[in-house]
Structure 1
Amino acid sequence: MSIAKGTVTDEARHQAFIDRIDAGEKIEADDWMPEEYRTTLIKLISMHAISEIMGALPEKEWVPRAPTLRRKLGIMAKVQDEMGHGQLLLRVVEDLMKRDGRGREDLMNDLFSGRLKFHNVFHMPTKTWADAGIIGWLVDGAAIITQTNMLHASYGPYARALKRICAEEVFHAQHGESIMLALVEGSKRQREMVQEALNRWWEPLLMFFGPASKATTGSSKQDVTIKYKIRTNTNEELRQRFLTKYIPRVQALGLTLPDPTLRYDEATKTWTYKEPDWEEFKKITRNEGPRSTERLQLRRTAYDEHAWVRQALR
């Protein structure tokens, strides 16, 4: 009898929680929340936080090689911003992990062991200065679309952090667009360099949003985040938003998108495109991407070499 009563109480608390988020209320770190909600937030925000930190590494490679002092200062500021975003989000997720007795050190160990993933695009090489433009303009453009989709997330600390992050990401996208414009308006070699970079980055950009939800696969992570009003749109809806925004802009620069099947369907108001290789995507998320090993080793080395700072602050 007592078990049944406890079950009813749990169901009532869960329904009250759903009623709160349906009414637009924000959930705070100390509020009661379903375990599914908390674990979903931990996975989402920790992945976002680590992606901000790991995402600074591809551009960091171009700080000493930027073509002018102005460009060097610009990309240095962007790297600094991305690291700051990661630190802000780590603070948010740490509050959710307290009841498990876990903290930031556990997150870093999860990253090094492969349990904590980071975005596929940050496993890719940056071969030329045009890659810095692609990352700033299109990768950060994709990130803005994803993050603004969660600006009104039901979890208050994450929603508030995203307001600051999205505002700064807009400047990052403008930084990338400035690089792209300078290159496409430059020499023939520079324009070829941009086209070559776009050819390499197009498939990773499509992968950025994740696979579309399949009706046959049942519940997915994106379904759970939508159920709890952490996000509002599916992976495919976000990818379509990206295509609609950026395809005309890319074409306006005189660049060719590396997909002969790409077309807009007026009947469905959607873009059709060549599906990226989702098996390759899975491989990348297992840290088997082109630069996965090098980037993880760089982060591990930095973490180990600065252990004395963490010890001094305790």
Structure 2
Amino acid sequence: MTEDTDATAATMPIEDYLAQGGQLTSPANVPARYRGELLRLMASFVDSELAASAGFADTINDAAGITARIAACRITLEKADHAGRVLDLMGDFGADEGRYATQHPWADRLPRDAALGQARHGADMRLAVFHYPIEGWVDAVVLNVLQGLAAAVTLEELARVSYAPLADVFRAIAPREKRHTDLGVTGLTDITATEEGRAAAKAAIAYWQPKVADSFGTMNSARFETQKRFGLRHRPNEALLADWTASVRATLAPLGLA
């Protein structure tokens, strides 16, 4: 915290200070119970970005043309970079950054018909959607669009997180994630130019849309209430899910995919 926020925070309980928009700026000022929730939030983001990058890398050679391959390479690179930026902040709290980045098999996937719902799986903290395998270019493009729209909603929420260095990183990442989605929409537009492509896209949407929806978590979440008290979250899961659903509809309708 700065000198001014130190004085403000000293006059009220830390949870009240954070819930009212206060921010912390250094690991030295972070209470233990806040630290645990903050590190959990960061680990989930890092693990999801590393898994997304690893999974998408396998689709680069499936891309339809040089421009699409370049886009796929860019997305793969930047997602790994986003993970690295947040992992650097975890390093401030004592995380072994070098070991962390290699301790899980990020490219591993479960069977296509696995039913994870909203549950975490395995030893890492990735969202369940990143445990499912991508099958081909259309599948990759559809997942990129749907998950990219989810990232936009989530990053808008996380840009207000009460740990100021993390909020800064999320604000810097958001435009790049939007560009990934824009690249996906361009690819999806090309795919839907034929009836065969539109049918393949519809099948991929039917598979991925409920899995991405699950990534928003449970409704009436007790964890959300805890995070809200610390200023790590502000809007409940159901509100974020509603925003994403509307964004998906607005994006897919012009392509005849709604």
Q: Same fold (TM over 0.5)?
A: yes
Contact 1:137 1:173 in 2 (8 A): yes
Q: Deviations over 1:75-100 (max 9, x none)?
A: 1011100000011110111212x2xx
Matches within 5 A, 1:84-99: 84-96=81-93, 98=94
Which residue in the other structure is 1:126 paired with? Answer: 134
Asked if residue 104 in structure 1 is aligned to residue 97 in structure 2, the reply is yes
1:135 paired with 2:165, answer no
Which structure 2 residues correspond to residues 217-236 of structure 1 after superposition, within 5 A?
220-236=222-238
In the alignment, the residues of structure 1 paired with residue 36 and residue 56 of structure 2 have an alpha-carbon distance, to the nearest angstrom, of 31
Q: After TM superposition, give the deviation of residue 28 of structure 1 in Å.
A: 1.4
Give how far 1:229 is off.
1.1
In the comparison of the two structures, how many residue pairs are matched? 235
> 1:164 maps to what in 2?
172
Give the deviation of 1:199 after TM superposition.
Answer: 1.1
Alpha-carbon distance in 1 for matches of 2:72, 2:251: 22
2:187 matched to 1:179? yes
Structure 2 match to 1:242: 244
SS in 1 for 2:62: coil
Matched residue of 2:233: which SS?
coil
C-alpha distance in 1 between matches for 2:40 and 2:103: 11
AA partner of residue 83 (structure 2): G
Distance, in Å, in 2 between the alignment partners of 1:63 and 1:124 is: 17
Q: What amino acid maps onto 1:104 in structure 2?
A: E
Quote the offset at 1:111 in angstroms.
4.2
Match of residue 204 from structure 1: 211
* CA distance 1:52–1:15, shift in 2 (3 Å): same
| Alpha-carbon contact 2:52-2:79 (below 8 Å) kept | yes
Taking structure 1 as reference, are residues 46 and 251 closer, same or farther at Cα in structure 2, changes over 3 Å only? same
TM-score, normalised via structure 2 length: 0.83
Letter in 2 for 1:135: L
For the pair 1:66 / 2:63, whether they are aligned, the reply is yes
The structure 2 residue matched to 1:254, chosen from 249, 253, 256, is 256
Q: Name the CA shift for 1:61/1:110 in 2 (closer, same or farther; >3 Å).
A: closer
Higher relative contact order (Cα pairs below 8 Å, separated by 6+ residues): 2
Report the equivalent of 2:35. Answer: 38
1:54 aligned onto 2:51:
yes
Contact 1:14 1:34 in 2 (8 A): no
Distance in 2 (CA, whole Å) between partners of 1:34 and 1:110 is 28
Query: What is the TM-score normalised by the length of structure 1?
Result: 0.69
Aligned to 2:118: none
1:176-210, CA deviations, whole angstroms, 9 ceiling, x for partnerless residues? 1101111112x221111111111111210210101
* Structure 1 residues without counterparts, runs of 5 or longer: 1-11, 215-219, 257-314
State the SS of the aligned residue for 2:159. coil
Shift of 1:227: 1.2
Unaligned runs of 5+ in 2: 1-8, 106-120
Q: Partner letter of residue 131 of structure 1?
A: D
Retained in 2: the 8 A contact 1:183–1:194? yes
* Alpha-carbon distance between aligned partners in 2 of 1:103 and 1:91, rounded to the nearest angstrom: 10
Q: How many percent of aligned residue pairs carry the same amino acid?
A: 20
Distance of 2:212 and 2:102 partners within structure 1: 28
Q: 2:72 aligns with which of 75, 83, 87?
A: 75
Corresponding residue for 2:152?
Answer: 144
2:200 pairs with 193, 197, 201, which one? 193
